[in-house]
Chain A
């Protein structure tokens, strides 16, 4: 007989909220790349508004976790799960902020900057893959998959380094692009790079969940 039935249910609920939040932000990222591709101004507005939804999800996870800690005095892996959920929700919230920032970028940018956007779309696949592997890693507390998330982040870092050079080349070539436009575009790819870092932090938390050991993958 399971003598901690309601406790187990609370922990499952907590884990499900995290997975729901991950999936939600993955969808936001799919939408975000569509918005970049089609320069969709309404879509950009939606990205900005979605951020409120994500903030609420983080709040819900925090409140739920605090209450379970309060009522159940968890120890060992139970405690790690709950503390980790608070940290993961925080990382996810940051990742969603970047999508909102990009919504703002799309709204503010005026010039036709096809060549920048093409480069931006290079982050689509590795970032979406990171989400997919991360969700699996979290669901299965799978350390190997957590490491795979980190490998994907390395790909993003490589793309980022290369693209900085490409951005500068494009800016030099097309002298009609104003400095403001170029700087904004550079800031966009920086957001993708940071998103990769935060998703990797989540992978670190998953390893802690499983092993009780802190690792640094970034």
Chain B
């Protein structure tokens, strides 16, 4: 069975000032699946993730070359709708970063910015997003409490709900569980696996076991290069490249 690609990336290079961070990356990302990005710190995983919704545009000295096709359109073409892109491609960060406002307002923030004013519609969107993020049951009686009163794991799921409220196609996650305890981590992993039925998920993780547990595909980056990319099961059982084997077995460098 041939799966459809959400992203088709060709010859993608990124430079910060003089320092190259990504070198001629070619990669296709499958829709409605989980793709994990692994590799040592500084290998370019976050940089890569940021090219997918043009968050790198916010870094002054960052230059991006090559093409990032999303659903067949190059999002680096002149005149491409960047606001639309960020709506389509949501992001969740390492540290849960809820806004200092109520739980409800956190999730309603995006839709409100989009101009949704009708109270009922907004209510529906918020509850739907909270349910999808597997947080609803825990917060349904205190939607007006401050988001900062939630535990770390709950805050992270709130951030996922906030991203989902924008009705994205893609969720980018940069080490979303590295600040969480093991149980909160498993909850997020379980959630991510459920979400892949509807969304394409790309996750940076430092936990090899996490990649092995949840990702359908895994990409191994090293010093700005994509060394190996393939089905997770194959990459973790019989990697094709020695560098991959050395990295995943913890015998690097």
Show the binding face of A for B, using Cβ within 8 Å: 2-4, 7, 73-80, 211-213
Task: Among A2, A7, A212, point to the contact of B237 (Cβ < 8 A).
Answer: A212
Interface-lining segment among B169-177, B190-198, B243-251: B243-251
- B238:A212 contact, CB within 8 angstroms: yes
- In angstroms, how far is the closest chain A Cβ from the Cβ of B195? 25
- Provide the bound-state CA to CA distance between A42 and B238, in Å: 49
B209 interfacial contact with A, CB 8 Å: yes
Q: Which residue of A is nearest B240, CB measured?
A: A212
Inside 8 A of A211's CB, which chain B residues have their CB?
Answer: 238
Supposing A79-B237, A212-B237, A212-B238 touch, asked if A73 and B249 sit within 8 A by C-beta, the answer is no
- 9 tightest A-B contacts by CB? A212-B238, A75-B236, A4-B250, A75-B248, A76-B245, A78-B249, A76-B249, A76-B239, A73-B209
- Provide the bound-state CA to CA distance between A77 and B209, in Å: 15
B180 interfacial contact with A, CB 8 Å: no
- Provide the bound-state CA to CA distance between A4 and B253, in Å: 12
Inside 8 A of B69's CB, which chain A residues have their CB?
Answer: none
Show the binding face of B for A, using Cβ within 8 Å: 208-209, 212, 236-239, 245, 248-252
Q: Which residue of A is nearest B252, CB measured?
A: A3
5 additional A-B pairs beyond A76-B237, A77-B249, beta carbons within 8 Å, are A4-B249, A73-B209, A74-B249, A75-B208, A77-B245
Q: Which residue of B is nearest A79, CB measured?
A: B237
Most buried by A among B209, B237, B239, B249: B249
- Provide the bound-state CA to CA distance between A4 and B249, in Å: 9
Q: Which residue of A is nearest B246, CB measured?
A: A76
Task: Among A2, A73, A79, A212, point to the contact of B251 (Cβ < 8 A).
Answer: A2
Q: Which residue of A is nearest B245, CB measured?
A: A76
